[in-house]
Each structure stands twice: as structure tokens, then as C-alpha cells.
Amino acid sequence: NEYYLGTAWNHMFTSTLQNIEQLLVKADELNSPRYIGIAKVIKAYMFSQYVDVYGEIPFSEANKKSKGI
């Protein structure tokens, strides 16, 4: 169903990816390599799932709305 695919896509980029990026920043500030590793694994898994569903998706440009990308 296209509604569910669109909702999943929007949720990934408006919520999940932002939360992971916040976790990476906070873990770096606290010098917590375990949480950095956890966040990177979750981010990689999330992108692998979306590539399986949608095909090619933006990776290096993802979650950079605040930078004008």
C-alpha cells in the first residue's frame, strides 16, 4: 500500500534518523563509544531496510535539511 510506504519513508527521515543523529552527537559529547557503536549499527540497519524496499535512497544527503541540502 502506497500510504504505508509513504508514511514509513516520512517517519524515517523526520523522526528516526534525527533521533539517531542526536544520539550520535550526545554519545560523542559524553565520550561513550558503546552508544556511538549502537547508533551506527541501528543507522546502518535502517538504511539497509529502506534500500531493500525503495531501491536507491539518499545517504550522504540524508538528514541535512538544516544545512540546506
What is the pLDDT, as a whole number, of residue 37? 97
Kindly report whether the global pTM for this prediction surpasses the value 0.85. Answer: no
Residue found by looking up cell 546502518 in the block? 44
Asked if 20 contacts 39 with a C-beta cutoff of 8 angstroms, the reply is yes
Higher local confidence (pLDDT), 44 or 68 = 44
Q: How far apart are the first and last CA of the chain?
A: 29
Average pLDDT of the chain, as a whole number: 80
- Residue 31's identity, in one-letter code, is N
What is the pLDDT, as a whole number, of residue 15? 82
Instruction: Tell me: pLDDT of 8 over 80.
Output: no
Higher local confidence (pLDDT), 55 or 30 = 30
